Amino acid sequence: MPERSESDSRKLLRRLRDVLATPARGQDRLDSITHLIADSMKTQVCSIYLFRDPETLELCATEGLKKGAVHQTRMKLGEGLVGRVARSGMPVNTADAPSEKGFRYMPETGEEIYSSFLGVPIQRVGEKLGVLVVQSRIARSFSEDEIEALEVVAMVLAEMTELGAFGGDGFEAMHKQPVLFRGGTGQEGAAEGRVWLHEPRVVVTNPVADDPLTEIDRIREAVGVLRVSVDDLLAAESLDKEQKQVLEAYRMFAHSRGWLRRMEEDIQRGLSAEAAVEKEQSAARARMEQVPDAYLRDRLHDLDDLSNRLLRILTGQGRDTGATMPDNPILVARNIGPAELLEYGRKLKGVVLEEGSVGSHAAIVARALAIPMVIHAARITNEALNGDQILVDGDQGIVHLRPDDTVARSFRDKIAMQAEAQKRYAAFRDLPATTKDGVTVALHMNAGLMADLPSLAGSGAEGVGLFRTELQFLIRNQMPKREELAQLYARVMDAAKGLPVAFRTLDIGSDKVLPYMKPNDEPNPAMGWRAIRVGLDKPGVLRMQLQALIRAARGRPLAVMFPFVAEHSEFVEARSAMLRELHREKSLGHAVPEKIEIGAMLETPSLAYAPAEFFAMADFISIGGNDLKQFFFAADRENERVRRRYDTLNLSFLSFVGQIVARCAQAGTRLSFCGEDAGRPIEALALAAMGLRVLSMRPASVGPVKALLRRVDLSEARAVIEAARAAGEASARPRLTDWLAGLPEG
């Protein structure tokens, strides 16, 4: 069969554009398109399959197959050759379709008489929209030119689907349908608002171009601008070795002749410069999903980012689109750094990220700002538009985009119930968390920013059980100065108005890497060079921070704790560093704290078995529940597959906590529990029943925890836990839940 010329390809796209420009029903347009493509490609069949939901494809139009199959034939993602194209994002080209592995025969279509098959994905920058198929009776493979031509047509269909060209007749325009995203909890809470995209999507309104020479000039000029911008970034003197390596990869792609050549070939076939960029970007995304090697996937992400830069140069659509931020903005982004998130501040009602982690810098800032956050909401940046209605359920890790009225009403009911509960908690805000049997549990709050401190008075917390000091390091591009830190820590103590504040020294490493420190490629960073290990190996940084804390106290009492201490000798060394700085400051004539308390975070099981000297030496110990639990169960808390598998109320873990309580009691050392579980009422109850008398949590959790503790008898709760242990049960949760259900409302 003769190969089709480039002019034929452009002619097809012009005819396609004319069809799309003519007023018509969505179904009529699709029918016209399949007829037009089959005629141009000289095939007996052309069919368009579109996704009805993320897992289901539906035959929506056809030329050549039985018309009765339209809107009746459906298949799952990965099912048959069409499903294979949709899953992989790559073409399938075969001369003998029935003999292909995975072929599915659908008798209602009448396709048994067609031997050859070519299917290409209809996709747009990561969005899988459907599959475009042509078939012929003659057993033959389609040429490379024909494959390229059909991919170009599929690209135009994707853009027109994006613009709502097939609206009506059951075909909702893109970005108008309700969509549910299931992700993970970054920060609990619920919020309703309007989407505010951190990086607004580029909208291509002209996928087809008549003048390829003009479009090629445009793409070459834009690529030239892109190359200069990358070269300028590389010329910066402040770059470290790793940053240069990343930008070198950028430059390699930006100067790739193959990338530019492929885009120029797409333009020769009739696409506009913008559509050609998106076609190659979609192809890169499809390749990305097939690559098992993480390093290569990151390099393909580089190409993805470069494509977005190139689109912004071509369209002039920068980050600042002129759109006005809504009154109740919910930030939607692929990922975001802590400094960028802080710039938005308390204007935001919530945050939704495609990436992120529960321990990420952004999640820490979201907790500080007390705004709900959902992470791992896959592809939401492709689906959401500025101004879309959005509901964020941080408790369940669920996001409703453009919800229907029923979902929105139910969600508002949930928010109203939470608000009503907060009013009830406010009634005993200033009362102690004293149980029915007379045990008082001190409830403290966690903090990491000055923005947290206003919550101290309103929450009913009795102090700050953990002030994370690393955020001031993470949100800067260079190491903060000692005096800057001293001023900040002083403001924290001023804001606490005499209530106790426990400052945790710099906890970096693992998922918290400073932008100006050389990152370490470690196979398991959570168990690697982090926290006190970094402090002891970088004594200059530790000294500077300890000096800042001493000066901030201005003679007031000071409590400092060292994170991730794994053995007694580490605490001895860190404590000695603090005592040396106290002596030095005193010798310089500076005011020193009237009282100094030096403590440790118990986050590794090893420290629970430290010598008695450790427990006697430490002025206080805080159990870092998040890390301790992940190491106790050997379950990475960033891994959704395993972290939910293990229960804090597992009796083995509660027994272990009980042993720590006993060792601290024997030594007369004050003990607290800090972490997510301290702020969950039933978990807080169990921890208190095991003997903990200080719990530190996010401010919003103080009320619910206090409400529960004030209506229970701890001795009864302990008896319920022991009954579960005696019965050989794995967790105390079922029995505690049943016991609480039988208590009178308090």
**pLDDT tens digits for 222-253?**
999 988 888 887 776 555 565 566 677 778 87
Within 10 angstroms of residue 548's Cβ, the number of other Cβ atoms is 24
- Cβ–Cβ < 8 Å for 572, 532: no
More confident: 579 or 236 = 579
CATH label of the domain that carries residue 118: 3.30.450.40
Q: For residue 22, tell me if it sits in a domain.
A: yes
Model pLDDT, residue 477: 63
For 311-336, what is each residue's pLDDT tens digit? 888 887 655 555 678 889 999 988 88
Range 707-719 average pLDDT: 96
CATH label of the domain that carries residue 222: 1.10.274.10
CATH label of the domain that carries residue 481: 3.20.20.60
Q: For residue 121, tell me if it sits in a domain.
A: yes
pLDDT-derived band of residue 3, with 50, 70 and 90 as boundaries? very low
Query: Which residues are tagged catalytic?
Result: 361, 674
pLDDT of 6 higher than 70: no
Residues 508 and 561 in one domain: yes
Within 10 angstroms of residue 380's Cβ, the number of other Cβ atoms is 23
Average model confidence (pLDDT) for the chain?
Answer: 86
CATH label of the domain that carries residue 409: 3.50.30.10
Model pLDDT, residue 325: 86
Residues 452 and 410 in one domain: no
Q: How far apart are CA 675 and CA 624, in angstroms?
A: 6
pLDDT of 534 higher than 90: no
Range 93-115 average pLDDT: 88
For 611-638, what is each residue's pLDDT tens digit? 999 999 999 999 999 999 999 999 887 7
Coil, helix or strand at residue 342: helix
Residues 454 and 546 in one domain: yes
Residues 156 and 195 in one domain: no
pLDDT-above-70 percentage for the chain: 88
More confident: 427 or 403 = 403
Q: For residue 172, tell me if it sits in a domain.
A: no
**What are the tokens at 604?**
């590794």
How many domains does one find in the chain? 4
More confident: 491 or 301 = 491
Model pLDDT, residue 678: 95
The vertex-341 CA angle with 336 and 342, nearest 5°, equals 150
Q: For residue 588, tell me if it sits in a domain.
A: yes
The boundaries of the domain holding residue 26 are: 6-162
Q: For residue 734, tell me if it sits in a domain.
A: no
Q: For residue 533, tell me if it sits in a domain.
A: yes
Residues 277 and 345 in one domain: no
More confident: 416 or 727 = 727
pLDDT of 2 higher than 50: no
Model pLDDT, residue 385: 84
Residues 309 and 335 in one domain: no
Residues 619 and 701 in one domain: yes
Q: For residue 304, tell me if it sits in a domain.
A: yes
- Helix boundaries (H) for 348-427: 361-369, 380-383, 405-427
Range 658-665 average pLDDT: 97
**Of 391, 418, 445, which closes a domain?**
418
pLDDT-derived band of residue 1, with 50, 70 and 90 as boundaries? very low
Q: Which is it for strands 92-94 and 116-124: parallel, antiparallel or unpaired?
A: antiparallel
More confident: 198 or 611 = 611
Q: For residue 73, tell me if it sits in a domain.
A: yes
- Measure the N-to-C terminal CA separation of the chain; round to a whole number of Å: 83
Residues 446 and 512 in one domain: yes
Residues 553 and 670 in one domain: yes
Q: Calculate Rg over the CA atoms of the chain.
A: 31
pLDDT of 355 higher than 90: no
**Of 104, 137, 162, which closes a domain?**
162
Residues 190 and 146 in one domain: no
Residues 496 and 577 in one domain: yes
Q: How far apart are CA 393 and CA 374, in angstroms?
A: 7
Residues 378 and 501 in one domain: no
Model pLDDT, residue 367: 76
pTM of the model: 0.68
